[in-house]
Amino acid sequence: AQKVTQAQTEISVVEKEDVTLDCVYETRDTTYYLFWYKQPPSGELVFLIRRNSFDEQNEISGRYSWNFQKSTSSFNFTITASQVVDSAVYFCALSAYSGAGSYQLTFGKGTKLSVIP
C-alpha cells in the first residue's frame, strides 16, 4: 500500500521569507512518480511538478524548487521569497501501481500555506 505524509498541517510566513513544505512517502514499488499540486482558494488543483523514481536531480522553476531524496523517501518543496499569491493548500501525491493494470494517485492531507503581507 502507498502512503504520503505531510506532517505540516498549516504554515504561516511573512512575505519574502523562504518556506519548505515537507513530504514523506511509502511504497514498495521501485518505479513510481511523485507530484506536487497547488490548491488556491478557488478550489481547483493545479499541477506543479512530476518526478519519477529514477531521477533524483533537484529541480528549480523560478521561485520554486524541489528536493527528491530516495534515501529518506522525501520529496520536499521550497518556495523562495514567498509572495501573497503563494497562499494555498499544497498537496504531495504518489503514483504507483495499484493493481488491475492501473496507477492511482495517493494524496497527502495537504499543507495550508499562508503568506502574510
Partner 1 sequence: DGGITQSPKYLFRKEGQNVTLSCEQNLNHDAMYWYRQDPGQGLRLIYYSQIVNDFQKGDIAEGYSVSREKKESFPLTVTSAQKNPTAFYLCASKADRLFREQFFGPGTRLTVL
Which residues make up the interface to partner 1 (CB under 8 A)? 9, 33, 35, 37, 42-47, 50, 91, 95, 100-105, 107-110
- Measured from the CB atom, is 12 or 81 closer to partner 1? 12
In the complex, least distance from residue 94 CB atom to partner 1, rounded to whole angstroms: 10
All three cell numbers of 46, joined, read: 493545479
All three cell numbers of 6, joined, read: 505531510
In the complex, least distance from residue 45 CB atom to partner 1, rounded to whole angstroms: 4
Q: Is the dihedral of CA 43, 45, 46, 49 positive or negative?
A: positive
* C-alpha angle 26-28-33 in degrees, rounded to nearest 5: 70
Alpha carbon distance 21, 48 (integer Å)? 13
- Measured from the CB atom, is 9 or 71 closer to partner 1? 9
- Report how far apart, in Å, the C-alpha atoms of 61 and of each of 30, 35, 42, 107 are: 26, 14, 23, 22
In the complex, least distance from residue 99 CB atom to partner 1, rounded to whole angstroms: 10
In the complex, least distance from residue 109 CB atom to partner 1, rounded to whole angstroms: 4
- Measured from the CB atom, is 9 or 57 closer to partner 1? 9
